[in-house]
Structure 1
Amino acid sequence: MSDDWIKGLPEAAQSYLENRRLDEVECIISDLPGIARGKAVPASKFARMKHFHLPDSIFFQTITGDWSDAADEDGFIEKDMILRPDMTTASAAPWTGDWTLQVIHDAFDRQGEPVPFSPRNVLKRVCALYEAQGWKPVVAPEMEFYLIARNLDPARDIEPMVGRSGRPAAARQSYSMTAVDEFGPVIDDIYDFAEAQGFEIDGITQEGGAGQLEINLRHGDPVKLADEVFYFKRLIREAAMRHDCYATFMAKPIADEPGSAMHIHHSVLDRATGQNLFSSPDGSESAAFFHFIGGLQTHLPSAIAVQAPYVNSYRRYVRDHAAPINLEWAQDNRTTGIRIPISEPEARRVENRLAGMDCNPYLGIAASLACGYLGLMEARKPSPEFRGDAYAGEGDIPRVLGQALDLFDEAEGLHEVLGADFARVYSIVKRTEYEEFLQVISPWEREHLLTNV
């Protein structure tokens, strides 16, 4: 492998490989759930490769490993896609036994066109619509997750990881530094892995659940931040397994604990001036600020199927359990689905609190930006700012996946932004998963219906 090739890598990757021999490169791409698919190749071979191939069927597979009938008119022939590396994403895989890099790839068809149902391409499509208007979207995701005890039996309840005190409930104190210290060795590895990969963590806090943590990332380009969340999910899982526990990004892994969200902060800049479109010259809220909120209120119900992609996702939307149940908006109010954090005018932003941590980061961010974009283009006006406890009101978001998919299928405007082919494939795959779920008889049904009905 030539030194020139190595010198073209991002700085963190170069530092990771300094005075070391690169053994392997993992060529990866996100599927619809956000699982890394791809191939591991010797470094010497990767240096000679311009692209590699994977079948398009990786986007038709359900979370259970079964297949949906989402192929196009050519049928399920598993056509090869052309996957080209984005070398700006080259990143260490510091948990491996040898010296390995990961590189995220983009998917193209034989005509060189982006594959429309590849999640990274969906997000790029939405960002391009902003750019065509002279706008630059900026996001900052927050990642919530649980550290749990190893669980090899699906019939067994999930339990929090036992920290150094030996008391699982000791890690239930929100924002407690003592609770964070419970999982110090895991967190140390998360920091070490993130540093090796060149990621900047804005902070780690203890959330309200036993063993629940939150990592905040600095604001920036939506595709770059989605790449980081995609990488972070794997990084955190690997750090946990080093310490005999699992990390889970399920929206609601434990019945009596809060769910895990991926809150998304948004702002939009003028590409020419760098000014925040959400603030007027005098520092007050602009019309664009209100239109973005109006877009979220109008279109998020149709996008919930993307931001809450599994039957488990809807167990998170429970009154008074740290997750929103409606689309009210307010300044500095964590009971509303749309929150406006305290900030200076130049940093004014809108926080979408509905997305679950189980969503694909590319698709979750794309859907949120798409709703805001539609609001900007349609000059949507939001409802009046909410005052008080939003949990006291009625819920106005879908409560089950089937209802969410019905709304998604009817949302022609959202399909135009995300891409019609993506919308078709996504709906078919998710309905296939939903049908699979409906074939399973739950313990609740056996307990309460077996002899009582």
Structure 2
Amino acid sequence: MTWTANLPTPFHDYLGENRLDEVECIIGDLSGIARGKAVPAKKFAKQSQFFLPNSIFFQTIAGGWGEAAGPEGWIEPDMTLVPDMSTATAAPWTGDWTLQVIHDAVTREGEPVPMAPRNVLKRVVAAYHARGLNPVVAPEMEFYLVGRNTNPANPIEPMMGRSGRPAAARQAYSMSAVDEYGPVIDDIYDFAEAQGFEIDGITQEGGAGQLEINLRHGDPVKLADEVFYFKRLIREAALKHDCFATFMAKPIEGEPGSAMHIHHSVLDQDGNNIFSAADGSETDAFYHFIAGLQNHVPSTIAVLAPYVNSYRRYVKDLAAPINLEWARDNRTTGIRVPISDAAARRVENRLAGMDCNPYLAIAASLACGLMGLEEARAPRPEYRGDAYDADEDIPRGLFAALELFDSAERLKDILHPEFARVYSIVKRTEYEEFLQQISPWEREHLLLNV
């Protein structure tokens, strides 16, 4: 199969002298779940495109369907899936020699399908390019390693460490805590190396069994692809060691939530960071970008916090911001400017939960910064002190967040109006599905007391 000669080097290193058996043709849905089909490698070599119904973008996280088909009705027409071979990478946890390839969704006429999350992000990046700008991002991924939870009625418990004791909380940055689940981390490293991904670092966070992985900065689409892949490889590494990896925003009561912090910078056509002047000082564009986040992130919360559980993370004094204040080197603010030299000056959005779709969260955050550059407004003054004492700036529930999203016309135009229409319908359907479930809290406190 001569087509394999052009596959990325890490895959060749992984495959060695073995024969490629299977290719997974995948695409991320609105929730970030990998959908697609697996085909024999010989069949993949003979076909340049594959097909899936557009209804994969109407499906809820619970398996239901949003009534978002449009005026043509529920006919489930096929989309054409076109492989992006630059994303080809191993699936090293499989029992055979398998290649994964992310595909782009296009119509029969060759136009991007607007509901596809990867297309949404590409559209936002193109809006920057139209202004002669190149956005750069660096995501941080927080997640928990927990015990196997096979009965959803039971609370999630921390995983058992190598000492035979459950992972302990409040051990942030502890190397001993990281050693407790070293075998899982070793497999994460091995899987990442086989897939050609570079990890900037792994640290223990404040929760019991909570880790953070930092990725190197780069092109937004490439980084979103990596987060999409990483979530799958981390889950697979955990399963090898009889535990679960969860990216829920708030999996364990009383523990900190898990975020996907997004660092942004913007380069001009010469590769210069527009947030820094020639003398190293902060530019007007730097402040305009921050103002864009302050003014427009509330309308994106339905994307950054896409589930009812997401809002359990926004708790005062528990490691998640509840405001849109900005400050230098202050982790209590929703918008943080990390310490850096002028060339690496960047702005960190700390609002997104790790349960987000990485394509959509990065797209929404970049869209806010772009609107800030367009509007050229000044941000609020830099916050001094503990920003948990500041006023709350974000909606505290999914329904309120969707109301803001639906009314944000410029944001929807940047992301794509058809995507915004479908997204809102699907998320409202998920909310209705949630309301049909009766929680243990309701049974405990309402059954005999009301």
TM surpasses 0.5: yes
**C-alpha contact (below 8 Å) 2:133/2:266 kept by paired residues:** yes
Q: Which amino acid in structure 2 is aligned with residue 79 of structure 1? A: P
Q: Which amino acid in structure 2 is aligned with residue 52 of structure 1? A: F
Deviation by residue 1:256-296 (Cα, 9 ceiling, x = unmatched): 1000000000000002x110000011111100000000000
2:319 maps to which residue? 322
Alpha-carbon distance between aligned partners in 1 of 2:345 and 2:166, rounded to the nearest angstrom: 38
Which of 244, 247, 250 is residue 246 of structure 1 equivalent to? 244
Q: Which amino acid in structure 2 is aligned with residue 222 of structure 1? A: P
Structure 2 residue 52 is matched with structure 1 residue 71: no
Secondary structure of 1:168 counterpart: coil
After TM superposition, give the deviation of residue 440 of structure 1 in Å: 1.4
Structure 2 residue 114 is matched with structure 1 residue 116: yes
List aligned pairs for 1:121-160, cutoff 5 A.
121-160=119-158
Q: Which amino acid in structure 1 is aligned with residue 194 of structure 2? A: A
1:18 maps to which residue? 16
Alpha-carbon distance between aligned partners in 1 of 2:159 and 2:168, rounded to the nearest angstrom: 11
**C-alpha contact (below 8 Å) 2:167/2:180 kept by paired residues:** no
1:420 maps to which residue? 417
Alpha-carbon distance between aligned partners in 2 of 1:78 and 1:419, rounded to the nearest angstrom: 21
Q: Which amino acid in structure 2 is aligned with residue 29 of structure 1? A: I
Which of 373, 378, 383 is residue 376 of structure 1 equivalent to? 373
2:447 maps to which residue? 450
Alpha-carbon distance between aligned partners in 1 of 2:300 and 2:359, rounded to the nearest angstrom: 13
Alpha-carbon distance between aligned partners in 2 of 1:83 and 1:138, rounded to the nearest angstrom: 27
Deviation by residue 1:380-418 (Cα, 9 ceiling, x = unmatched): 211000000001122110100000000000000100100
**C-alpha contact (below 8 Å) 1:171/1:182 kept by paired residues:** no
Q: Which runs of 4+ in 1 moved over 3 A?
A: 169-172
2:384 maps to which residue? 387
Alpha-carbon distance between aligned partners in 2 of 1:399 and 1:187, rounded to the nearest angstrom: 34
Deviation by residue 1:191-246 (Cα, 9 ceiling, x = unmatched): 00000000000000000000000000000000000000000000000000000000
Q: Which amino acid in structure 1 is aligned with residue 95 of structure 2? A: G
1:299 maps to which residue? 296
Greater mean alpha carbon deviation, residues 372-381 or residues 303-312: 372-381
After TM superposition, give the deviation of residue 420 of structure 1 in Å: 0.2
**C-alpha contact (below 8 Å) 2:292/2:371 kept by paired residues:** yes
Alpha-carbon distance between aligned partners in 1 of 2:435 and 2:289, rounded to the nearest angstrom: 37
Deviation by residue 1:133-159 (Cα, 9 ceiling, x = unmatched): 000000000000000000011110000
**C-alpha contact (below 8 Å) 2:140/2:215 kept by paired residues:** yes
Structure 2 residue 36 is matched with structure 1 residue 38: yes
Alpha-carbon distance between aligned partners in 1 of 2:395 and 2:114, rounded to the nearest angstrom: 26
Alpha-carbon distance between aligned partners in 1 of 2:387 and 2:169, rounded to the nearest angstrom: 27
Structure 2 residue 324 is matched with structure 1 residue 339: no
List aligned pairs for 1:25-424, cutoff 5 A.
25-170=23-168, 172-271=170-269, 273-424=270-421
What TM-score comes out, normalization by structure 1 length?
A: 0.98
**C-alpha contact (below 8 Å) 2:140/2:261 kept by paired residues:** yes
After TM superposition, give the deviation of residue 167 of structure 1 in Å: 2.2
Alpha-carbon distance between aligned partners in 2 of 1:115 and 1:437, rounded to the nearest angstrom: 28
After TM superposition, give the deviation of residue 169 of structure 1 in Å: 4.5
Secondary structure of 1:164 counterpart: coil
Extract unaligned runs of 5+ from structure 1: none
What TM-score comes out, normalization by structure 2 length?
A: 0.99
Alpha-carbon distance between aligned partners in 2 of 1:255 and 1:29, rounded to the nearest angstrom: 33
Q: Which amino acid in structure 2 is aligned with residue 385 of structure 1? A: E
After TM superposition, give the deviation of residue 439 of structure 1 in Å: 1.6
| Count of residues paired in the alignment | 450
Which of 430, 433, 452 is residue 427 of structure 2 equivalent to? 430
After TM superposition, give the deviation of residue 171 of structure 1 in Å: 5.5
Secondary structure of 2:260 counterpart: coil
- What percent identity do the matched residue pairs reach? 76
After TM superposition, give the deviation of residue 74 of structure 1 in Å: 0.6
